[in-house]
């Protein structure tokens, strides 16, 4: 199987690096509008470069689309209309209407998906499996200030990872929400049948945070997206006063999680889907629902 990567910036290089480590790939072809970027990556990874998307599509069975978000619609449209399978980096497009246009105007039956990478973080499957009936969910994703200018609000840039998780793992049925923030910091409270689901994201923090915490009737479960560690805190067995201070004895269990680079698992899953002609777990429709929630958040925040 031959694989292509379109756009070899930060994410494209990560895709190409992971593909270069995988078995079952014959050749990797790279294209970037900045030829030098693609060439440098190709030299490092023993890949090949091509002078255009058309030339790349002549050679490959599947591609990762890692161009800036504003070019996702046109690039995905070109790739999919050639019949080549495509994994589009998140978010699917810049707007819901672009995503809907794309879905309506591509041929049916081609393997497609969107790279909502945290769905492949092993802590998410563990936590959602263990915490069956949450009565509170909180996910925080905060980045230190960066020189990197994305041109994308923090909701589509960072919070969308957690939007994908809550929409697909925690929210059941109808919900309403309130939100406040700016382009760089956002807090959202989702009311899902009186279960509060709280999301926060920031690009102005002084500490990098990637945490999830879920409370259920009998325990609280906490996970760290970066260390991939998960702990369960059982209800206090003993709660008494000692020297005028309350003492609480919790039982803490560490959940065994098999650590894995989420991007590696995402790309391996994509290749397996292409080989076996099965649907990638994150569909274009789900990715569009994620964007719709982003738009609701902006509306609620008055942006
Ligand atoms: N999954 C994640 O965690 C994650 C993290 C960062 C970025 N992303 C997504 O990945 C995508 C790319 O982001 P990035 O941070 O790698 O950006 P980047 O700016 O580092 O890289 C984009 C590359 O695409 C090239 N390019 C621009 N237009 C092109 C075109 N029409 N055809 C071919 N190449 C083109 C640029 O020259 C550049 O090298 C964005 O959609 C972003 O949202 C996802």
* List of domains in the chain: 2-116+263-283 (3.40.50.720), 119-260+293-300 (3.30.360.10)
Of all atoms in ligand 1, which is nearest to the CA of residue 6?
Answer: 33
Percent of the chain with pLDDT over 70: 94
In ligand 1, which atom is closest to the CA atom of 14?
16
Residue ranges around ligand 1 (CB below 6 Å): 6-12, 31-34, 37, 66-69, 71, 75, 89-90, 115, 117
Residue count (the chain):
303
pLDDT digits (tens, 9 = 90+) for 9-28: 999 999 999 999 999 999 99
Compute the distance from residue 26 Cα to the ligand 1 centre, in Å.
24
pLDDT band at 244 (very low <50, low <70, confident <90, very high): low
Q: Cα separation of 16 and 5, whole Å?
A: 7
Rounded Cα distance, 137 and 131, in Å: 10
Compute, in angstroms, the gap from residue 242 CA to the centroid of ligand 1. Answer: 57
Q: Which of 6, 89, 267 to mutate to test the pocket of ligand 1 (most atoms within 8 A of CB)?
A: 89
* Strand 48-49 with 27-31, pairing: parallel
Going by pLDDT thresholds of 50, 70 and 90, the confidence category of residue 239 is low
* Helix, strand, coil share of the chain (percent; to 5): 35, 30, 30
Give the pTM.
0.94
> What span, in angstroms and rounded, lies between the C-alpha atoms of 90 and 205?
23
**Which three-class secondary structure state does DSSP give residue 282?**
coil
Instruction: Say what the pLDDT of residue 253 is.
Output: 93
Query: 301 near 179, Cβ under 8 Å?
Result: yes
Question: Quick check: 245 pLDDT over 90?
Answer: no
Which pLDDT value is given to residue 123? 98
Please compute the mean of the pLDDT values over residues 115-144 and round it to a whole number.
96
Nearest-angstrom CA–CA distance, 196 and 190: 6
> How close is the Cα of 94 to the center of ligand 1, in Å?
13
């Amino acid at each position: 199987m031959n694989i292509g990567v379109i756009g070899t910036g930060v994410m494209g290089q990560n895709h190409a690096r992971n593909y270069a480590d995988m078995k079952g790939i014959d050749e990797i072809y790279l294209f970037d509008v900045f030829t030098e970027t693609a060439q440098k990556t190709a030299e490092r990874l023993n890949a090949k470069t091509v002078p255009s998307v058309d030339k790349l599509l002549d050679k490959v069975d599947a591609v990762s689309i890692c161009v800036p978000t504003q070019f996702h619609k046109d690039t995905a449209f070109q790739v999919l209309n050639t019949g080549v399978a495509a994994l589009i980096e998140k978010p699917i497009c810049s707007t819901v209407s672009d995503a809907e246009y794309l879905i309506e105007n591509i041929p049916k039956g081609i393997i497609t998906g969107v790279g909502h990478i945290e769905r492949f973080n092993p802590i998410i499957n563990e936590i959602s499996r263990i915490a069956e009936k949450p009565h509170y969910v909180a996910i925080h994703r905060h980045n230190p200030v960066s020189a990197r200018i994305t041109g994308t609000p923090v909701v589509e840039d960072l919070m969308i990872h957690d939007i994908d998780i809550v929409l697909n793992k925690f929210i059941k049925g109808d919900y309403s929400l309130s939100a406040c923030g700016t382009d760089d910091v956002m807090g959202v409270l989702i009311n899902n049948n009186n279960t509060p689901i709280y999301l926060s994201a920031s690009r102005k923090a002084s500490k990098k945070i990637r945490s999830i915490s879920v409370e259920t009737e009998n325990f609280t479960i906490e996970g760290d997206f970066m260390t991939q560690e998960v702990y369960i805190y059982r209800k206090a067995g003993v709660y008494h006063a000692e020297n005028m201070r309350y003492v609480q004895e919790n039982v803490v269990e560490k959940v065994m999680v098999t650590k894995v680079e989420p991007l590696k698992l995402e790309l391996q899953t994509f290749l397996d889907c292409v080989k076996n002609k099965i649907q990638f777990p994150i569909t274009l429709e789900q990715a569009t629902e994620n964007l719709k929630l982003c738009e609701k958040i902006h509306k609620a925040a008055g942006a």
